[in-house]
Amino acid sequence: MEKQDLLADYRTMVLIRSFEEHCQQQYTRARIGGFLHLYVGQEAVAVGAIGALKAQDHLVTHYRDHGHALARGLEPKPLMAELFGRSTGTGKGKGGSMHFADKNKNFWGGYAIVGAHLLLAMGIAYSIKYKREVLGQADQDGVVMCFFGDGATNGGEFYEAVSMAALYKLPIVFLCENNEFAMGTPLSVHTSVTEIHKKASPFMPGERVNGNDVEEMRARALYAVNHARTEGPYFLEAMTYRLRGHSAADPQMYRTRDDINARRSGDPIALLKQKLIDQNLLTEKQAKQIDKEVEKEMDVVVQFAEESPAPDLSEAWTEIYSKPL
């Protein structure tokens, strides 16, 4: 990987972290409502994996979708505006935290029924193949990357998705972010197969990767995407750890502060920073400068959201159908 790539990835990860911290802050100030699931600690998975996608590839994800949106290159302003419930948001203030999307970037959105979106991702992959083989659209060589958590691998929809993706040899990468908890239920309590990639092994090749190492994540994602493009579905299990609660209002009874502190050594941003410093690609001073720039950008982002108008009340009645009768 080139020097510039890693530095850019570092900056994106810092941006995601800062975005999330500002979200938490705005949530506690009651500017953001509903549920708020933060991505703090998992940044390397999104930045590493989504960086392996090309423009024509597709991204489908779960409700903890802020990091994926930013890693896919969505502007932070409309995302924050969506969280504030403003008309300038990605969903015009109708979707909220769990439903970011941008059709123009083939980012098909965050979905909030755990496990269900694997089937939509499989369907999108099916349509790519259909367009290429039945409609004769040779340029249809996109790959779908579908994110989900370890908690999503126990329901029937997971098995329906991997089974049918394999049956139809679809161009799809299933990417499980194993952060060791299904909301508050520990991995060993919710599944007997704790090496999640093995659950899909009868259907497709796969592997476990270090999701806190953005370099390893990128390398394996590139492999997986290439496999999906040329041969069929591939499964990645990215090991990571969520450093904040399941949602902004999580008392975290299922783990102690010491548990979390013990895992801070795996903080992907700290790890990458040290690596860049060791390789003389970054100095402490430059790192501080990046932090400062990102903070400044976030102030503008929050201000944009705050100053954006709330949706007009008539918006409640639009887009129920795309063709009203």
Partner 1 sequence: MAKKLEMPKMGYDMVEGTLAKWLKKPGDEVSRGEPIAEVETDKVTIEIEAFEAGTILKFLVNEGETVPVGAPIAEIDDGSGDDEAEAANASVTPSSDAPAVGEGGEAAPPAPAVVAQPEKVEATPAASAPATSTGRLFATPAARGLAEQRGVDLAGLKGSGPDGRIVKADVLAAAVAPKAAPAATPAAAPAAAQAAPVASPVPAPVGLIFAPPAPNSVYTEEPLSRLRQTAAKRMVESQQQVPPFFVTSTIEMDAIQALLPKLREAHGGKLSVTELLLKACAIALKKFPALNSTFAGDKLLVHKDVHISVAVATDAGLLAPVVRNCDSLSLGAISNQMRDVIGRTRDGKAGLDDLQGGTFTVSNLGMFDVTNFIAIITPPQSAILAVGSTIATPVVRDGEIVIRQLMNVTVSADHRATDGASVAQFLVELKNLLQNPFKLLL
Partner 2 sequence: MPVITYSEALRQALREAMTNDPRVFIIGEDVVHYDSAYGVTKGFEKEFGPERIKDMPIAEAGYAGLGIGAAMNGLRPIVEMMTTNFAILALDMIINHAAKLHYMFGGQFTCPIVFRMPNGYGQLSATHSQAFDNYYAYMPGLKVVVPGTPYDAKGLMKAAIEDPDPVIFIEHTGIYNIKGEVPEESYTVPIGKSNLLRDGKDVTIVGYGRMIPYCQQAVETLASEGIDAALVDLRTIRPLDMEPVLESFRKTNRAVIATEEWTSVGVGSEIAARLYTEGFDHLDAPIWRVGFDEVPMPYAKNLEAHVVPNADSVIQAVKNVLAGKTQKIRQQ
Task: State the residues that interact with partner 1 by CB under 8 A.
Answer: 21, 25, 27-30, 33-35, 248-251
When asked if residue 11 is in the footprint of partner 2 (CB under 8 A), the reply is no
Closest distance of CB 205 from partner 2, Å: 21
User: Quick one: which of 49, 69, 68, 63 has its CA closest to 143?
Assistant: 49
Residue 35 interacts, among partner 2, partner 1, none and using kind-specific CB cut-offs from 5 to 8 Å, with partner 1
Rounded least distance, CB 237 to partner 2, Å: 22
Tokens at 20, concatenated: 């999330």
Q: Which does 29 bind (CB under 5 to 8 A by kind): partner 1, partner 2, none?
A: partner 1
The nearest distance, CB 150 to partner 2, in angstroms, is 20
Query: Considering only residues 41, 67, 89, 206, which one is a binding residue for partner 2 as defined by CB under 8 A?
Result: 89
Bridge partners of residue 176, in order along the sequence:
148, 237
Q: Who's near 125: CB < 8 A, 6+ residues apart?
A: 58, 143, 144, 165, 170, 171, 172, 233
Which residues 164-183 are close enough to bind partner 2 by CB under 8 A? 164, 167
Q: Give CA–CA dist 62/325, Å, rounded.
A: 32
Find which of partner 1, partner 2, none residue 95 binds, CB within 5 to 8 Å per kind. partner 2
- Within the chain, residue ranges assigned H as helices are 3-28, 43-50, 66-71, 76-83, 117-133, 156-167, 187-190, 214-230, 257-262, 268-278, 284-307
Contacts to partner 2 by CB under 8 A: 89-95, 99, 101-103, 108-109, 111, 113, 116-128, 130-131, 133-135, 156-157, 160-161, 163-164, 167, 318-323, 325
